[in-house]
Structure 1
Amino acid sequence: MILPRRSATVLATLMLFCSTAFPSLAEPIIIPNIKADITFDGELNEPVWQQAKHVSVNIVNYPYENTPSPVQTDAYIFEDGTQIYFAFIAQDPNPEKIQAFIRDRDDAFSDDIVGIKLDTFNNHRLAYKFFVNPYGVQNDGIDNEMTSQNSNLWDGIWDANGKVTEHGYQVEFAIPYRELNFEESDDIKTWGIELLRLYPRDKVLRISNIELDRNDPCWTCQMDEMQGFEQAKIGKNLLVTPSVVAKVDEERDVYQNEDWQSDNDAELGLNVRWGITPDVMLNATINPDFSNVEADAGQLSVNKTSALFFDEKRTFFLDNSEYFSSPLNLVYTRNITDPDVGAKITGKLDKQTFGFFMTKDNFTSLILPGNLYSLPDEINDESYSGALRYRYDVNENLSFGLTSTMRSADQYHNYVNAIDAKYKMSVSNTLIAQVLTSDTEYPVALYEKWCSNGSAQDECYLPSMINKNQGSFTDQAFNLEFEHDSENWLFKTKYLAIGEDFRADLGYLPQVDYNEFTTTINRTVYSDDTFWSEMIFGGEFQTSHNDDGDLINKRSSISYTIWGPWQSLFDVIYSHEEQVGLRYDPNLSAIDDNTSLFELDYVDLYMSIQPRADLMFGFSSRIGDSIDYTNDRKGELIEFAPDLIWNITTHLELELMHVYAELEADNDYVYRENITDFRLTYAFNVNSFLRLTMVYNATDYNSNNNPDIIIDSNYHDNLSTQLLYSYKLNPQTVFFLGYSDNSIDNELVGEKKELKQNQRTAFLKLSYAWM
């Protein structure tokens, strides 16, 4: 699947990325405790800023190697026992070139921004990040060193503002201690900190107060230390957020030309967050809702063999979600579709980190896995889902973890237990291991949906369902990874083995009966004085088999990536692959003599460029051989996805993406799929916006070139639209008012090619955060 990316955001996020390392040897930054009133207006005219700790942000540590900054940036810090205050004065010789717009929060990582990364335990495991653009747009998230992932999904409640001046811009913001996890005591505390400015011009410069060692992939581990905070208290740290969601749903059966059926619903919800101590948090929720607020981006779905992945957006699940992370994704909370209630406790005590949650869901959604394909499904019964995660950090270099998940409904359960370890052998070398076991039972109704037992041997459309009507079944999985990441070389090797009967229904592991070995090697070259700043030459080899040793896939690829002028990125990958198709007889789990083996050659291409501050173009594509899985034959695939982001004014933004895919076999097309994703947003200010979203999906099947299937309709068109007004005083004090509808068209709807509405919804959501 190929989808365009917001390249400037991706690049900026990578620049803020972290992994693991060792304490800074620099003198710590001493933070003064000062009582003062601050008006967050970006003016910086309060006398307290003259008493604050001054830090120069004057080192370009990416893409250049610790060179002097071409622009001057000054940061100021103090705290008052309840929150920590920051101010930045970012000078610019050409302020008219400042790249910044009024946007929704977390959408300005590609802008000129200043901010901090903060490791409140100073243990190089997690780092908060708080950034502000020149108009005061907030951007926050958490970097997770343990999984080498960074997320912008978490939202804190904090104050910020900014102002563009004739000499550049300046911002001020404050982080309440209630938003942070830390060890509370009357002693001097030591936290890790990095002060940052992203300066996007011809290239995007990462300007910092610290130098970075490129042989150490963990940037969080190289932070400066700051000390103070003897009086830091979180107070009662109780956040209660009641909400109401009201909606009017109308649906009709357009195939039978029936009248509209209406359903009105109003539902109360509640989120409670209580900081029992600064490092132990309790969350509880009733009826968390997100489905009517934000439309998921369109994704290609035709001729795909894996269930689609979507991001979590509900506050209850996002708070301290990093506490549940492990090498394999065992906690994918989008599987919890419609929970009534939930409770969660997370915390850190000395070297121990823990998290536990339990929810009650109105029904049970899950992924039915396999080694060749997976499908989403559901059990029409309420269920309970829970997860437990515990980690013990022996020292900075060695950690052990335990994960347990459970899902349970009538005649159904799935229990997973896993242990893992991460060992940093040296600054550049890391070893990760995880061992898992599962115990599962499927209800008879689910088995009968996919299988029939009218003969001596059950016939199952899904091989992974064979014999799954005989009580519970168990199996194991294993994951081992080694990574060397230094200034010029990246070497990674991974072995993953997932047994045929292993299930992780609360996680996202769509493949079972699957054993994969992958080796990646990249060579990176940097340049400080040419039109390009970084080049990567890479290669990868991957092979996978089932438990019986039958080949599933063997792939070799070479890649080339370059970052150049106009914030440009060019990435090309050539791959040669041997891949099996789907089974002739799905009732047999065997692959050899039950599938066709295809040799494929194809090229993946991604490029982006930002010739002006208000305009970004991106393009991704795949061209070459592919498998027509439905008809079990080799074909030629063309996929391409141009995208455009145009900030028409400071307040108005247009995002336009189109994805086109065409598969050809036997000298004719098999299908053509088009997705157009159009989003027009007008931001009245940093708190409110109006957005129109339209996602149009049109699929055209060639009935003359699909010999192995019966096609009900040669075309399937779908149009989803949404008009949303959003007001956010903070991430949890919100007002949403919107309308959405869905229209479909195919030959079964009517002879005339015309979209017909089959669903429409008007909705309102109101929530208020009581602190």
Structure 2
Amino acid sequence: MLIRELFKWALLLTCFFGPSFAYSNAVPPHTLPSLPDRIAIDGYVNEAAWDNALKQTLDYQTWPNENEPAPVKTDVWIYENGEYLYVAFKAYDPDPASIYALYRDRDLVISHDNVGVEIDTFNDNRLAYRFNVNPYGVQTDSIYNELTGTESYSWDATWQSAGRITNEGYEVEIALPLEVFSFEQSQDIKTWGIRLVRFYPREENMRLANVPYSRDQSCLLCQYGRVQGFKHVSQGSDTVVSPFVVAGRQRSRDLSSGNDWHYEGRAEAGVTAKWNPTPEVSLSGTINPDFSQVEADVAQLSVNTPFSLFYEEKRPFFLENNDYFSTYTDIVYTRNLSAPDYGVKATGRMGSHTLGVFVADDESTTFFVPGNISSSIGFIDEESTNAAARYRYDYSSGLSIGAVTTLRESDNYHNYVFGVDAQYDLTQQDTITMQVLKSDTEYPLNFSDRFCKYICGQTELFNEAPLRTEEQEISGAAFKLEYSHFERDWNLTASRESFDEDFRADLGYIPAIDTVKDKLTAAYLWYEENSWWNEVEARGTWEKKESSAGELLEQEWDAKVIVTGIYKTYFELGYSDRERVGFRSVAESLRVEDSSALFDEHEWYMQIVTRPISTMYISQYFRTGRQIDFVNNRLGDDFMSQTRFFINLGIHTTIDVHHTYQDFDVDSGDLFTASLTDARITYQFDKEQFIRLTFAYNDVDRHLENYVGSNFYETNRDFGTQLLYSYKVNPFTKFFLGYSDFGVQNDQVPHRRVAEQSLFMKVSYAWYN
């Protein structure tokens, strides 16, 4: 009732007042010089051109203290010459020996000492390009999305940087080609939002800036400073053509039936091209691409997990400008596409209009079959066409309206989704977001039989996938509505989301449907500027999830305390208490009340993250309590530990280890123990090249005498290694050479044996025009 009342009053206010609020920055803009000079990017800030550039100083400490005077001096110079935006930093340090900087791959140095520039080229508080450089010139680039509050490091641009440590601190020079930006093409003076930053990690991880930041406002980009200039800037066509070659040799064997190796070779060529016909529009395409990922995913433990796991996208074509397809629900999840032969994409912003479109085929069709208690994976051995389109209209800085559609289609299957969404800022502290979706799906004839072949009858418990796919043609709707209030010392979020039982988004990551979820979260914050702690947050959450028929699926109360402090310390302690349904035991019905029991779960959890010295990072998470045993539909005692430690050995070598351990006991004794280790050792020669050894080991031991019924192995172990050499001149010119293998040990294979081995190579080269 509380959430419904909040939504009712928020919507009444919206309708009555209309889109009257807009953010504004009252600080007068600076004039950015346009100079003919070119700079040699070498890390020496000594060229005469810098004397005529716009000079700024980073006078504000915006974290952990709120707009206190910066403890160290930082001078910045900035100008453009019609082709490049040049930025130079002199970061002074009273103790240069304490500067924390290492040679690392790009996008992995944000925790180092570094300086950067953040640019909102449309000055509309929607997206910002971010460029950061550490004292060795190693780059990080990303895009911050104000509407979703997320930062994507998947975006890569080609730009120049250099840095060096001096007796007074360090110096950095940056050259940003104007062709990497989207901006409004005109002969008028342009106004861009800009913020200059420095990250200064000592006992406290300080952030310094040239403009103050108010914690009373929910909008970050509207607090940027502004510069005026760029009157005669023109981006040009900016064409990039990048052919590539992929070659490999693989062998595999079936360990349960014999030891004979099956050999397979592979050699393919393809091309990717990108063209910016105007500064606002980008077109890209790829033919015969290698969409396999070079670097292995970080392993995840999947024991006693009813819903499908999420893996981040790593493939460059899908990553480029993927923020253009972001919405408030994950209906565009390109990891569902496994092996396309082609892909085309267009993205652009013109005035208040933003549009993104991509199309790709796939040699087969894989998607989630969602449910309200569990999800499964559906597979159709048919080539499919896949597409997504996203449009957004920014009526003002406080109101955005959008539409999105996705398509997946093969000979005997289709899934179409269309939706509209909006975000409206009632005030600087109050925001309403909304999204409505509609889907239409057709499965192949007798598609549900494919799940019964492998699932039905294997245990006494019912997997819902057969009934979720029983009807050949279905259509459904979904919506999400959220209100949030944000202030310096407290915040509140109330939301409702609903997914019909026949709603499907097969190009997205929506593993749960047939649900109506209400959620209310409130938090209060305390700040301290002269102590070992910087911020304390007390947060409480209430969540209730029902089926579309009104049956209770889950109700949870969660309370936690979060403390951040010196040495980049993050400490979280929480308790959750929930009612939750187990699996269904009746295969003929999707009803919950007739076939599922409600269980009382509870858990304590704790996480601590710290960097006690600059060369070491430690993260430890514990969870213990009563949880559902989803295989046997009963309660048990669950304990989980997740550990990560990250050690730097000098400025070139890194050891990064993830380890997860889980132990689950039931009344009759031990049920299972599982452990997973992912270890990576990297030697970074310089900012362009590294060699990395990755080792993953997964060990699950089950006590089958305590299972009601199952087809599990008692012992199941798998392991894999990868050795990868990488050389990247820029994001599009690179070379990879690697070896990988995979092995198993189980009840049928009593000793660890390798089942797959492969050698692979990929080289690409970018031509620019």
Q: TM-score, normalised by structure 2?
A: 0.95
CA-to-aligned-CA distance 1:239-284 (integer Å, 9 cap, x gap): 1111111111111011112311111011112111110110011111
Secondary structure of the 2:282 match is: strand
Match of 1:533, SS state, is: strand
1:227 matched to which residue of 2? Answer: 228
Structure 1 residue 344 displacement after superposition: 1.1
Deviation by residue 1:445-479 (Cα, 9 ceiling, x = unmatched): 632202479x9xxx996435427454321111111
Task: State the shift of 1:749 in Å.
Answer: 1.4
Percent of matched pairs sharing the same residue: 38
Q: Is the 8 A contact 1:488 1:524 kept in 2?
A: yes
One-letter amino acid of the structure 2 residue matched with residue 749 of structure 1: V
Matched, 1:622 2:619: no
Structure-2 separation of matches of 1:464 and 1:717? 28
Correspondence for 2:120: 119
List per-residue Cα deviations over 1:621-667 (Å, max 9, x = no partner): 21111111101110111111111111011000110121101111115
CA contact (8 A) 2:740 2:757 kept: yes
Q: How far did residue 736 of structure 1 move?
A: 0.2
- Superposed, 1:271-670 pairs within 5 Å as 271-444=272-445, 446-451=447-452, 462-466=463-467, 468-670=469-671
Task: Indicate the residue corresponding to 1:718 in structure 2.
Answer: 718
- Distance in 2 (CA, whole Å) between partners of 1:285 and 1:461 is 43
State the Cα distance separating 1:488 from its structure 2 match: 0.7
Residue 320 of structure 1 and its aligned partner are, at CA, apart by 1.5
Displacement of 1:738: 0.3
Q: Distance in 1 between matches of 2:443 and 2:542?
A: 36
Kept in 2, the 8 Å contact 1:198–1:207? The answer is yes
**Change in 2 beyond 3 A, CA 1:615/1:452:** closer
CA distance in 1, matches of 2:192, 2:464: 52
In the alignment, the residues of structure 2 paired with residue 29 and residue 718 of structure 1 have an alpha-carbon distance, to the nearest angstrom, of 59
Task: Measure, in 2, the Cα distance between the counterparts of 1:376 and 1:585.
Answer: 21
Distance 1:643 1:33, change over 3 A: same
List structure 1 segments (4+ residues) > 6 angstroms apart after TM superposition. none
Are 2:757 and 1:763 aligned? no
What SS does the aligned partner of 1:339 have?
coil
State the AA in 2 paired with 1:242.
P
The answer on whether the counterparts of 2:448 and 2:465 sit within 8 Å (CA) in structure 1 is no
In structure 1, the partner of 2:9 is none
Q: Is contact 2:461–2:585 with CA below 8 Å preserved after alignment?
A: no
Describe the SS at the equivalent of 2:324: helix
- Is 1:162 aligned with 2:159? no
| 1:48 partner SS | helix
Corresponding residue of 1:16? none
Equivalent position amino acid for 1:763 in 2:
F
**Map of 1:203-214 to 2, 5 A cutoff?**
203-214=204-215
Three-state SS of the structure 2 residue aligned to 1:346 is strand
Q: Is the 8 A contact 1:138 1:160 kept in 2?
A: yes
How far 1:38 sits from its partner (Å)?
Answer: 2.0
Paired amino acid for 1:342: G
Structure 2 segments unaligned to the other structure (5+ residues): 1-20
Cα deviation for residue 611 of structure 1 reads 1.1
Q: Offset at 1:23?
A: 2.9
Change (3 A) 1:274 1:352: same
**Alpha-carbon deviation of 1:53?**
1.0
Secondary structure in structure 1 of the residue aligned to 2:46: coil
The verdict on how the C-alpha distance between 1:468 and 1:376 changes in structure 2, with shifts beyond 3 A counting, is: closer
1:672 and 1:240 mapped to 2: Cα distance? 51
Assess if the C-alpha contact under 8 Å between 2:38 and 2:81 holds in 1: no
Hey, what's the Cα distance between the residues in 2 that align with 1:467 and 1:563?
45
Which secondary structure state, in structure 2, belongs to the residue aligned with residue 446 of structure 1? Answer: coil
User: Structure 1: how far apart are the matches of 2:657 and 2:153?
Assistant: 22
Task: Give the CA deviation at 1:686.
Answer: 0.1
Whole-Å Cα distance in 2 between the matches of residues 554 and 140 of structure 1? 41
CA distance in 1, matches of 2:510, 2:218: 27
C-alpha separation in 1, matches of 2:274 and 2:199: 33
Aligned to 1:201: 202
Quick one: distance in 1 between partners of 2:241 and 2:447?
Answer: 39
Partner of 2:185: 184
Q: TM-score, normalised by structure 1?
A: 0.95
Deviations 1:213-255 (A, max 9, x none): 1111221111001111112221221111111111111110111
CA gap of 1:532–1:83, structure 2 versus 1, over 3 A, is same
Report the Cα offset of residue 376 of structure 1: 2.5
Is the Cα–Cα contact under 8 Å of residues 479 and 497 in structure 2 kept in the other structure? yes
Cα drift, residue 443 of structure 1: 1.3
Q: Between Structure 1 and Structure 2, how many residues are aligned?
A: 744
The question of whether the paired residues in 2 share the 8 Å contact of 1:461 and 1:587 is answered with no
Q: Distance in 2 between matches of 1:110 and 1:702?
A: 44
8 Å contact from structure 2 (residues 447, 470) kept in 1: no
Q: Is the 8 A contact 1:21 1:218 kept in 2?
A: no
2:725 match: secondary structure: strand
Q: Any idea what SS the aligned residue of 2:51 has?
A: helix
How far residue 52 of structure 1 moved from its aligned partner, in angstroms, is 1.4
Q: Show the counterpart of 1:44.
A: 45
- Residues 609 and 616 in structure 1, CA contact (< 8 A), matched pair in contact too: yes
1:731 equivalent in structure 2: 731
1:42-191 matches, cutoff 5 A: 42-191=43-192
Whether the aligned pair in 2 keeps the contact of 1:641 and 1:657 (CA below 8 Å) is: yes
